Structure 1
Amino acid sequence: MAMIVKNNMAAKKALNQLDKNDKAMAKSLKKVASGMKINSAADDASGFSISEKMRVQIQGLEQDVDNTQTGSSMLKVAEGGLQSSADILKTLKEKVINAANDTNTDADRITIQKELDQAIDQLDENANVSYNGKVMLDGSHNNEVLSPGTKTVLANENFSQDVNSLTKMVDLKDSSGRSLGIFKDSKIEISYVTKGETHVSVVDPVGSTRLLKLMSTSPDVVMNFSADTVIGKDRVGNDVYTANGQKALFFSAKDPGVDGQIAGLTFNVINRDGTTNRTANSILNDFREAIRAENPSPDNALVFQVGTQSNQAVKIGFSDMRAVALGLKTSDGTTLDVTTQKKANAAISVVDLALQKVLDQQTTVGSMQSRLEYTASNLTTAGENTQSSESVIRDANMAKEMTEYTKNNVITQAAQSMLAQANQNSSQVLQLLQ
C-alpha cells in the first residue's frame, strides 16, 4: 500500500461509512422514540400517504360516532315529548268515555270539558319541546309535503270484495261473506268531526239506501268504495294502496290540509227494537287513517351525518303534533266539544285517531333511535378495523427496531474506531521524514 499524505483515502472511506451509520442509527433512534416506522414521507412515501388517508378516515369515523350519539340524544328528547302526549291522550280517552255516559249531567260534562281544554293546551306545550334551540314536534321539521297538502283518508278493509258503490246497506257483508245484519227498518247514526264541529246525520229507516248515499249531502266528506287498491295520494303525490291489497271503503276529506281534516268518524246501527247492532258496528267502525292530513311544507327534515363522505346521512321528519294537527282543536282555538252525549260519543274516535298519529310518530322516532344505535356500533367497528390497518402500515415493531438500533450503534462505534485507525496510519509517514 502506497504511503501518501495528500489524500487519506482510508480515512475518507471510513468517514463516509461513519456518516451512513450515523444516519441509520438516527433513523432507528427516531423509530424507537416515536414508536412508528414511518415518521415522514421520506421514510416510505406511498405508505405515508396511505396511512395519512386512514388517519383522516379514523378521525371522521370518530366524529360520526359523536354525531350518532348527539342524534340519539335529540331523539330521546322528542320521544319524551311524544310519550307525554300519548299519556295525555290516554287520559283524554277516559274523560270522553266518561262524558259519553249518561249518568253525567250537563254540568258534569262542562267540568269534564274544562279538564279536556287544559289537557289539549298541554299537548301544544309538548309539541314545542326543543333540543339545542330546535323545536321538534311543531311541524317545523316535517318532511316535504307538496301543495296543496294531503287529505285525510280513513279506510275500512273489512268488507266483502263483491261490495261496491251500488250495494244497499241491507246487503253489506264482511270480508268472510257474512251479512252485517242491517235490516230495512234499522236506523243508522253517522257522526264525524271536522273543522271543530261535530256533524251527526241519521238514516231512519235504512230501507233501500245504498252505501254511498249515506254521506252524499255532507259538505266536508267524500265517501267512496275503491275500484282498485289505490285510495289516495301521499305527501309527495305517490299512490297509497290498501294494506291488504284489496278494495276498501274509504272516507276522504274534500279539502286538503289540517283545517279540512276528518278528525273522527263513528257509525251506530240501531235495530228496530232500539238495541245496538254490535256486529255491524264493529265492522263499520273499523277505520284506520291511511293518509294523514298535512299542510304544504318544504323539506325541513333533520339530517344526521353518519358517514365520512358527503350525503352519507339519515333523515327524519317530525310531523306536527300540536292539538290542531291532531284534530283536537281548530285554528281559531275551539277545542273538542264533549258537552253533550252525542258529541262526547263522537269525540271518542277523535281521540283514537289523535293517539294513532302520536304513536305513529313515536314509532318513527323509535325506529330511528334503533338505527342510530346500529350505525354507531358499525362505525365503531369500522374505526377499529381502520386503526388496525393503519397500525400495520405505520407502527414500529419495537423489538425489531431496538435490535436494528443496537446493530447500527455498534457499527457506528466500529466506524469511529476505524476512522481513528485510518488517521493513525497516515501519521506513519512522519517516520520517513525524520
Structure 2
Amino acid sequence: IAQNTQRLNTMRRINSAADDPSGLVHASLLQMELTAAEATSDGLAQANALLSTADSTANQILSNLQQARSLALEAAGGTLSASDVAANQVEIDSLLRAIDALARTEFDGRRLLDGSSGFRVSGYDASEILDVDVLDKQTDDEVTVSINVTTQATQAHEEYKGGSLTQDTTVVVTGPDGTATVSLSSGATTTDIANAFNAVTYLTGITATRVDSTTVNFDTVDYGSDATITMNVTKGSFNLDPAASSDGTDAVATINGQTVTADGTTFSYTSSQVSLQIEVDPTASGSLTPFTVSGTGLEFVIGTSAANRARIGLPELTTTSLGGLTGKLSSVISGGSNTLTGGRAAQALKIIDDAIDDVTRAEAIIGSFQQYTIGSASNVMESVIENTASALSAIQDADVAVETASLTNNQLLLETAYQALSITTLNSRNVLSLLTSLTSRVF
C-alpha cells in the first residue's frame, strides 16, 4: 500500500534504485539524451532566427539595389536633363549608403553581412583576382589555393569596316543584356556610329570604339561563351567582320591541380575542404599569387553531440564588395569613377546588375542552409524529443490505472485480514469464557 501510494503521489514508477535498478539506469540515460536534444532544439531556434534576420536584411539590400537600378536605367536612357540626373545620383547615394548600414545589422551582438561572420580570404593580388566568394569550408585548417590560368577568357568581338555610310542604315543589335535597334543616317562617320551604339550599351551590353575613319570595334562588356554579339542589318549597308555574329570564350585554369573551365572569368572550385567562386581579371595569365582561406564562419550544433556541427560563412554585402568586372558598387556613389553625373550611367547600371546577382546568390546560400541544414536538424530534434520523452515516460512514469487497482486490491486484502483477525480474536475470547465457566462449575 505504501509503494502504491508513493507512486500515485509522485506519478513515478521508479522512485528509488530499489524499485527497478536497471530501469533507473536506462531512464537516466534517456533523460540525458532528452536534455541534450532540448538544448540543441533551443540552439537551432536561435540559429533559425539569426539566419532569418540575415535573409530579411539581404532582401532589403536587394530592394535598395532594384530601386537604384531604376534610377540608373532612367539616366542611361539619355532623356533626363542634367538636373534630373543629379537628382537621381543623390537618391542612388542614399540607397547605396543605406546598404552599408544594413550590412552592419547585428543579431545577439554579432554583425551579420559586413564580412565579419564569413570565412576569411587573404593574400591574393587584387590586380589578378577581383573577388573570392567562399561558399563552404569543411575544415578548421587554413586552406591554400593556387591558380594557374592556362587560357584567358575573351569577349565577343565584331568590327565595322567601311568608313562613312553612303545610305540610311538600320541595325538590330543583340548582346548579352538584350536587343536594341540603331538607326544611322547617310553620311554618318565612324565617330557617329560608335556614339550611336554606345547610346544603347545599357540595353545590349556591347560597347563601340572608334579605331579610325574606316573602322569601329564592337566588344561585349562581359567575357566568356555567354557573351555574344549578333547584328542584323534590316536597312542599308553595314560591312561587318566577322559577318553577323561572334561569341566570346571562357577562361581555363588549374586550381590546386584540378582543371576548371570558368563561366567567363569566374571559376567554381570545389574540393573536400572548400567550395569557392573566384573571379579573375581578364588579363591574368599563368601562375597567380596563392591565397588562403581561413576561419570557421558561424558554427551551429545540429545534433545531440557537440561534435555534430554545421557551419556557414555569411557573405559580405557591402558597397566595397558587391559588383563585378566593371567595378564595385562603391564607385557608383558620388566621388566614384562610375557615377551618373560623371556620364557613366551605363557602367553604373552594369555594376548594379552585377551587385544584384551577388545578393541573389547570397540569399540562395543563406536560404538553402536555413532550410536544408537548420530546418532539417530542427525537424529531427523535434522527433528525437518526442520519441525520447515517450520512451522515458514508459520506463519511469506510473500507470495510474494499474497502481489504483493495486492499491484498491491491497486495501481490500488488508481489510479482509483485519476482519479475519477480529473473528479470530472473538473466537479466542469465547473459548476462554467457556473454559472459565466450566472451571467454576467443577470447583
- Return the TM-score normalized by structure 2: 0.59
Deviation by residue 1:348-403 (Cα, 9 ceiling, x = unmatched): 11111111111111112222332333332322122111111122222222222222
In 2: Cα distance, 1:107 partner to 1:74 partner:
43
Superposed, 1:146-157 pairs within 5 Å as: 147-148=123-124, 151-152=129-130
SS of alignment partner, residue 379 of structure 2? helix
Q: 1:99 to 1:168 in 2, by over 3 A?
A: closer
What's 1:68 paired with?
Answer: 44
SS in 2 for 1:148: coil
Q: 1:59 aligns with which of 10, 32, 35?
A: 35
Aligned residue identity for 2:404: M
| Aligned equivalent of 2:15 | 39
Does the CA contact (< 8 Å) of 2:34 and 2:388 recur in 1?
yes
Give the match's secondary structure for 2:265: strand
1:230-245 to 2 correspondences below 5 Å: 230-231=252-253, 241-242=260-261
**What secondary structure does 2:368 align onto?**
helix
User: Do the aligned partners of 1:100 and 1:340 also contact (CA within 8 Å) in 2?
Assistant: no
Q: For 1:303-346, what per-residue CA distance to the aligned partner results, in whole angstroms no more than 9, with x for missing partners?
A: 222321112233222111111111211699944422244x2111
Query: Do the aligned partners of 1:120 and 1:323 also contact (CA within 8 Å) in 2?
Result: yes
Q: Which residue of 2 aligns with 1:406?
A: 408
Q: CA deviation at 1:425?
A: 7.3
CA gap of 1:35–1:312, structure 2 versus 1, over 3 A, is: same
Cα distance in structure 2, aligned partners of 1:83 and 1:121? 16
Kindly indicate whether structure 1 or structure 2 has the higher relative contact order, using CA contacts under 8 Å at least 6 residues apart: 1
Q: Find the partner of 1:250 among 257, 261, 265.
A: 265
Q: Which residue of the partner structure matches residue 9 of structure 1?
A: none
Q: Provide closer, same or farther for how the CA distance between residues 149 and 313 of structure 1 changes in structure 2, counting only shifts above 3 A.
A: farther
Match of 1:386 among 362, 385, 388: 388
Question: What pairs up with 1:266-277 in 2 under 5 angstroms?
Answer: none
Instruction: State how far apart, in whole Å, the 2-side matches of 1:389 and 1:79 are.
Output: 38
* 1:142 CA drift (Å): 0.3
How do 1:282-301 residues align onto structure 2 when only pairs under 5 Å count?
A: 298-301=294-297
Query: In structure 1, how many angstroms separate the alpha carbons of the residues matched to 2:218 and 2:249?
Result: 12
Task: Determine which of 376, 383, 398 is the counterpart of 2:378.
Answer: 376
User: 2:53 aligned with 1:77, yes or no?
Assistant: yes
The reply to whether residue 131 of structure 1 matches residue 146 of structure 2 is no
Tell me, yes or no, if the aligned pair for 2:7 and 2:398 is still in contact at 8 Å.
Answer: yes
| SS of 2:87 mapped into structure 1 | helix
Pairwise CA distance, 1:152: 3.3
Counterpart AA for 2:304: T
Letter of the structure 1 residue corresponding to residue 377 of structure 2 = T
- Do the aligned partners of residues 140 and 240 (structure 1) sit closer, same or farther apart at CA in structure 2, a change above 3 Å counting? farther
Q: Partners of 2:352 and 2:154 in 1: how far apart?
A: 32
Task: State the distance in 2 between where 1:164 and 1:70 align.
Answer: 46
1:328 maps to: 329
Deviations 1:43-96 (A, max 9, x none): 111111111211222222222222222222222221221111111110111111
One-letter code aligned to 2:368:
S
Distance 1:241 1:297, change over 3 A: closer
Q: How does 1:407-422 map to 2 (within 5 A)?
A: 407-413=409-415
- CA displacement at 1:225 relative to structure 2: 5.0
Residues 167, 87 of structure 1: alpha-carbon distance in 2 compared, 3 angstrom cutoff: closer
In the alignment, structure 1 residue 311 sits paired with structure 2 residue 311: no
Counterpart Cα distance in 2 of 1:297 and 1:333: 33
Which residue in 2 is equivalent to 1:219? none
Aligned to 1:291: none
Structure 2, unpaired ranges of 5+: 133-150, 160-173, 175-189, 199-206, 224-247, 268-277, 283-290, 323-327
Residues 1:52 and 1:334: Cα distance change in structure 2 (over 3 Å):
farther
Q: CA deviation at 1:112?
A: 2.5
Q: Could you tell me the percent identity over the aligned residues?
A: 20
The letter of the residue matching 1:61 is A
CA contact (8 A) 1:143 1:298 kept: yes
CA contact (8 A) 1:231 1:240 kept: yes
Distance 2:339 2:408 in 1: 91
Is the Cα contact below 8 Å between 1:232 and 1:240 reproduced in 2? yes
Check the 8 A contact 1:324/1:331 in 2, yes or no.
Answer: no
**Structure 1 contact 86–358 (Cα < 8 Å) conserved:** yes
- Once the two structures are TM-superposed, the CA of residue 38 in structure 1 deviates from its matched residue by 1.6
Change in Cα spacing, 1:408 to 1:401, as seen in structure 2 (3 Å) is: same
Q: Is the 8 A contact 1:137 1:322 kept in 2?
A: yes
CA RMSD after TM alignment: 4.8
More strand by share: 2
Amino acid at match of 1:307: G
Which residue of structure 1 lines up, in the alignment, with residue 274 of structure 2?
none
SS in structure 2 of the partner of residue 54 of structure 1: helix
Q: 2:76 matched to 1:113?
A: no
Q: Return the TM-score normalized by structure 1.
A: 0.60
Deviation at 1:231, TM superposition (A): 4.8
How far apart are the structure 2 equivalents of 1:45 and 1:346? 77
8 A contact 2:93–2:333 mirrored in 1:
no
Structure 2 letter corresponding to 1:314: A
Instruction: Find the residue that maps to 1:115 and give its secondary structure.
Output: helix
Separation (CA, whole Å) in 2 of partners of 1:354 and 1:91? 13
Partners of 1:129 and 1:167 lie apart in 2 by 39
Q: Is 1:38–1:395's contact at 8 Å kept on the other side of the alignment?
A: yes
